[in-house]
Amino acid sequence: MAMKFSDKNPELGALYGSHLATVTARHDHALEQAGASHAVIYSGDPKLAFLDDYHHPFKANPHFVGWAPLVALPFSYIVYTPGETPVLIYYQPHDYWHVVPGAPDGYWTGHFDVRIVHATDEVAAHLPADREKCIAIGEFHDESLAFGIERINPTTAINILHYARGVKTEYELAVMRLAAERGAAGHIAAEAAFRNGMSEFDIHRAYCEAVSHTDPELPYGNIIALNEHGAVLHYTDLDREAPENIRSFLIDAGAQVHGYASDITRTYSNGDPRFQDLIERMNTMELAIVDKLHAGLDYRDLHVATHTMLAEVLVDTELATGNPDTLLETGVTSAFFPHGLGHLLGIQVHDVAGHQESETGGTIDPPSGHPFLRLTRVLEEDMVLTIEPGMYVIDMLLENLRGTPAESHVNWDTVDWLRPFGGIRIEDDVRVRADGHENLTRDAFARAS
């Protein structure tokens, strides 16, 4: 039976006021640097499908969600003027075709001047009169919904807000612990479905039931991969029939609470002891990488160090021969592990500003030869990020080693053995501390046991 999850936590209300103080301070700074007096944050609106009359699932502006946990409230606005109570323009249409948002309710409501509107043409009356002193933050498919505000997503303000979002408040950390618990519940249910011989599609359904999400509510499309499908990094096809011989299972799936995501990956063997041993080796390596985390660490260095550690695993498990430096220089490790070690995590799964040099902008490039690394910053206390090393048999990449010095370093017979299992990825969500870390994922699984 799938375990039940609850996102009710009285701690959130106690922490929310301090969170909002941090959010307002960030906007004070952004407004000052942008030379503006008011910030108008638009929640967004559903996108209409091309040549059709239905909308794609609504995805709220993450800037809006950072203010209030309202992930299903389109056509709404937060108006912030330094020193004043933020105004929430709460769109509650008169509509008999759809369910409309209920009355504003929750631990956050007392922190806003809530003004309910029933039509978008009522919004303008609640915006600052001096539009030239406003900046608007959000995506405006219809420019009329900016109500005459000309400065939309100004670079100076956006850079400040994005860079600051890399560090989480205590409220955000509490919500993300809940998201980790919800994700862990889903993973436990998915593993049980795998052990019962279910198809990818049915495993996915078991996961969604355990986390109480519809597909659009998931923070990203679940990767539910049996056997060789585990070698497809973003496999989301979901076969409806189970394979005749189930060998392995790779699941990369998350959950969300109040707009904040978890992002968890696990790999399982269906009884093959050699593949199980390889999973355990990768698990040990992943935990060793996590143990290296601390504030002040350059994440690029950790990514490169991971390749050195992977080279040792490849040699120890007879997938490759040679010393680690040679396996890195010849591209062997990159063929087995082509993606980045991880990324910032928060309101967005791949949270913003992972490459940003400072609050004024600029870009920190990934290390040479590692173009897909999504996080290149020096780590700060209370950042939350993923650690997700992998090892896969991706024939397209391995075949590129043929005819190069790398070819002689690959044990092709062992690669042939591993191919039917697809690959291995293990991923945890981790909070950076001044001198260590908090593993949100492992703690969530421990609480569920």
**Residue 290 · residue 430 · CB < 8 Å:** yes
CATH 3.40.350.10 range(s) for the chain read 11-164
d(CA 355, CA 345): 13
d(CA 437, CA 290): 8
- pLDDT tens readout for residues 57-73: 999 999 999 999 999 99
**Residue 379 · residue 336 · CB < 8 Å:** no
- pLDDT tens readout for residues 111-132: 999 999 999 999 999 999 999 9
Q: The domain 170-448 belongs to what CATH superfamily?
A: Creatinase/methionine aminopeptidase superfamily (3.90.230.10)
Sequence letter at residue 125 = A
- pLDDT tens readout for residues 179-226: 999 999 999 999 999 999 999 999 999 999 999 999 999 999 999 999
- Angle CA 73–76–80, to nearest 5: 125
Q: Which pLDDT does position 4 carry in this prediction?
A: 52
**Residue 63 · residue 161 · CB < 8 Å:** yes
Q: What percent of the chain has pLDDT over 70?
A: 98
Average per-residue pLDDT for the chain: 96
Residue whose C-alpha is closest to residue 394's, from 335, 311, 352, 330 = 335
Polymer length of the chain = 449
Q: Which two tokens stand for residue 135?
A: 């900046």
Q: Is 412 left (phi over 0), alpha (psi -120 to 50) or beta?
A: alpha
CATH 3.90.230.10 range(s) for the chain read 170-448
- pLDDT tens readout for residues 374-425: 999 999 999 999 999 999 999 999 999 999 999 999 999 999 999 999 999 9
Q: Which pLDDT does position 385 carry in this prediction?
A: 98
User: Of all residues in the chain, what percent are helix, strand and coil, respectively (each to 5)?
Assistant: 40, 20, 45
DSSP string, 177-198: HHHHHHHHHHHHHHHHHHHTT-
Beta bridge partners of 394: none
Cβ neighbours of residue 53 closer than 8 Å, sequence gap 6 or more: none
**Residue 346 · residue 337 · CB < 8 Å:** no
- pLDDT tens readout for residues 256-289: 999 999 999 999 999 999 999 999 999 999 999 9
Q: Which overall architecture, per CATH, does domain 11-164 show?
A: 3-Layer(aba) Sandwich (3.40)
